[in-house]
Structure 1
Amino acid sequence: MRPLRFILSALAALGLVGCGEDQNSTSDGTPKVVTTIAMIGDVAREIGGEHVSVESLIGEGVDPHLYKPSSPDLKKLQAADLIFYNGLMLEGKMTDTMVRFARSGKPVHAVTETILGDSNYVMSDEADHFDPHVWMDVSGWIKAAGEIELALSELAPQHAADFKTNHDHYVAELGKLDEYARTSLGSIPEGQRVLITAHDAFGYMARAYGLEVRGIQGISTESEAGLKDINDLVNFIIERKIPAVFVESSIPRKSVEALVEGTRSRGHDVSIGGELFSDAMGTTGTYEGTYIGMIDHNVTTITRALGGTAPEKGMNGKLN
């Protein structure tokens, strides 16, 4: 599965991607930015500040792997001055839509453009499908923030200095988050640093912060978990004496609950250590509804459930 940037490059070579001149800014002249997922939207909002209006299509509790744009979504994309998407096939069912808007001349940017250039960074599964969950490694999302700053500066060059200032301030905060994740997850006893979740969304986090990760489903939730997958993980949990497994906010709990029932039926008491945010953030307007709050919640929840040391209210004392 090729990332969308290769499709767009092919279209450009054929002269199918134009340089659109129509502007769809708000009535006060503020450019409209539309993003696919909220994790991108939150960063765009932090960097864009008062100079842009940002809206995300896919909200809390929604699985982007299976998401199909609605008619209102298409209208929002049409009205946008700039579109941001993940770029590693996260929005698989929206690819044709992105191509169509790029073909019309709409600025469409993948926030993983720089990451894609580093063949040693991007992860994939056995079928060579890209793992799109880059935001789980804060250092990877810092690179995405750089892509967002560049695109916003191209859109509104008169505000480039402010975008740079906002970017630098935000990246400094992300640096603190990265260190918190490293310290907290590193406090988990070595034999217990095993993260078991509903689907394989935490590979980048595992690689960055020294965890072993297992998902019931694969990188995409389009792949169904079978009885053998459940049984294999039950055996693994019992063999490794794993104390906790985790549900995800955007995926039904039934597969994880099946793991718990399977292990308990064989005499091993494993608990559900909490709900993690994987493909969607928390509720809009809450701390967990920001990228920093999302990662803070995940790190704190995982650390405490697996026997590590982390403050109950997280890095900034703001967790619900």
Structure 2
Amino acid sequence: MTLGAVALGMALALGAPTPLSAQDAPLKVVATTGMIADAARQIGGDAVTVHALMGPGVDPHSYRQTRTDIVAMVNSDLVLRHGLYLEAQMEDFFAGLGKRKPVISVAEVLPRDKLIAHEEYADKFDPHVWMDPQLWSDAIVAVRDALIEARPETEEVFRANAAAHLEEVAALAAYARKVEATVPQEARVLITAHDAFNYFGRAHGFEVLGIQGISTQSEAGLQRVSELVDVLVSRGIKAVFVESSVSDRSVRALIEGAAARGHEVSIGGELFSDAMGEDGTYEGTYLGMIDHNMTLIARSLGGSAPERGANGRLAAGR
């Protein structure tokens, strides 16, 4: 028996009920990541209650479901997960849960020709699709369709809310194109803790270099750090970035390595990679997360962008 089956069996043994919600009660949705939870809230409005498993600063690559998570998912009407092997430690659990209730992998609907293939594993793809707002729009549509399937009598509301949210995302994508275009060509190198920004790089013409691979579970070896120090020094790169959900230890090793060779590198700021900002803040929404990243990257690498972002809502001094 797999670990996922054991975990699911434990929840069922606790007597957790799995009835469908009454039609006049909000649809109970559990989402793995904050980005998916935000999409469900934007589309569902008052017709849904959304519980996000992974909060600010949580790394989905290494996350394992807790007992509380299991009970929440078993009691839900709908589970929304990312897929593309992002929630790697929960694969077995979702396989078992999917036999008992709807478990939708929202990123799995994206056309394979729009995805970035994994360099080392056949038929595996970079899961960080939310870094390109235009691409993430397809995932938002998948969330909309899942909500409609679960609660068809509220379809009109879900479609209207989704259309409004997609307009906001399209406006943010346009802002991103505008501000990233101001970054000088020679400065279009984004170095971060792990390869979470390849879709951003493809969309905006940046070279993206991560100390670790696509998953934070990969090792950042001394050779990789040495290689990136060479890049920093030889190309005169002045800024690298830390991530909110990944330790900054390897990034600081780069800075120290460059300093040992007489080249000064600073931290350009903290980017949101696999998780959004704090709950209740603008940066704790998908729009705020991406606005923060796009604005910070442009300003730190020699481009121009408003300090408070696309809508003047970013926290001052970020």
Query: 1:120 deviation in Å?
Result: 1.5
More displaced, 26-35 or 134-143? 26-35
Alignment partner, residue 312 of structure 1: 307
More displaced, 66-75 or 25-34? 25-34
Question: 4+ residue runs of structure 1 moved beyond 4 angstroms?
Answer: none
SS of residue paired to 1:66: coil
- Work out whether 1:45 is the aligned partner of 2:41: yes
TM-score (norm 2): 0.91
How big is each residue's C-alpha offset from its partner over 1:90-127, in whole Å with a ceiling of 9 and x where there is no partner? 000011111111112x0011111321xx2221112221
The equivalent position to 1:155 in structure 2, one of 150, 158, 161, is 150
Identity of aligned residues (%): 50
Change in 2 beyond 3 A, CA 1:216/1:81: same
Query: 1:209 deviation in Å?
Result: 1.4
Whole-Å Cα distance in 1 between the matches of residues 99 and 22 of structure 2? 23
- Written as runs of structure 1 = structure 2, the 5 A alignment for 1:77-226 is 77-104=73-100, 106-115=101-110, 118-128=111-121, 129-226=124-221
Whole-Å Cα distance in 2 between the matches of residues 210 and 169 of structure 1? 28
SS of residue paired to 1:120: helix
SS of residue paired to 2:113: coil
Whole-Å Cα distance in 2 between the matches of residues 138 and 113 of structure 1? 16
How big is each residue's C-alpha offset from its partner over 1:208-250, in whole Å with a ceiling of 9 and x where there is no partner? 1111100000000110101001000000111111110000000
Aligned AA (1:245): V
Query: 1:28 deviation in Å?
Result: 6.2
Alignment partner, residue 237 of structure 1: 232
Whole-Å Cα distance in 2 between the matches of residues 26 and 52 of structure 1? 12
Aligned AA (1:252): S
- Work out whether 1:59 is the aligned partner of 2:55: yes
SS of residue paired to 1:33: strand
Alignment partner, residue 276 of structure 1: 271
How big is each residue's C-alpha offset from its partner over 1:295-319, in whole Å with a ceiling of 9 and x where there is no partner? 0000011110000000001111111
Query: 1:255 deviation in Å?
Result: 0.3
Whole-Å Cα distance in 1 between the matches of residues 40 and 202 of structure 2? 26
The equivalent position to 2:27 in structure 1, one of 6, 24, 31, is 31
User: Is the 1:88–1:131 contact (alpha carbons within 8 Å) kept by the matching residues of 2?
Assistant: yes
SS of residue paired to 1:103: coil
More displaced, 197-206 or 24-33? 24-33
User: Is the 1:138–1:177 contact (alpha carbons within 8 Å) kept by the matching residues of 2?
Assistant: yes
State the aligned residue count: 297
User: Is the 2:84–2:108 contact (alpha carbons within 8 Å) kept by the matching residues of 1?
Assistant: no
Query: 1:26 deviation in Å?
Result: 7.8
Whole-Å Cα distance in 2 between the matches of residues 26 and 134 of structure 1? 34
Whole-Å Cα distance in 2 between the matches of residues 313 and 304 of structure 1? 11
Alignment partner, residue 249 of structure 2: 254
Whole-Å Cα distance in 2 between the matches of residues 237 and 122 of structure 1? 28
Note the residue ranges of structure 1 that are not aligned, 5 or more in a row. Answer: 1-20
Aligned AA (2:117): S
How big is each residue's C-alpha offset from its partner over 1:154-205, in whole Å with a ceiling of 9 and x where there is no partner? 1111110010100100000001100011111111001001100000000001
SS of residue paired to 1:159: helix
SS of residue paired to 1:311: coil
Whole-Å Cα distance in 1 between the matches of residues 20 and 220 of structure 2? 44
User: Is the 1:26–1:32 contact (alpha carbons within 8 Å) kept by the matching residues of 2?
Assistant: no
User: Is the 1:200–1:217 contact (alpha carbons within 8 Å) kept by the matching residues of 2?
Assistant: yes
User: Is the 2:18–2:74 contact (alpha carbons within 8 Å) kept by the matching residues of 1?
Assistant: no
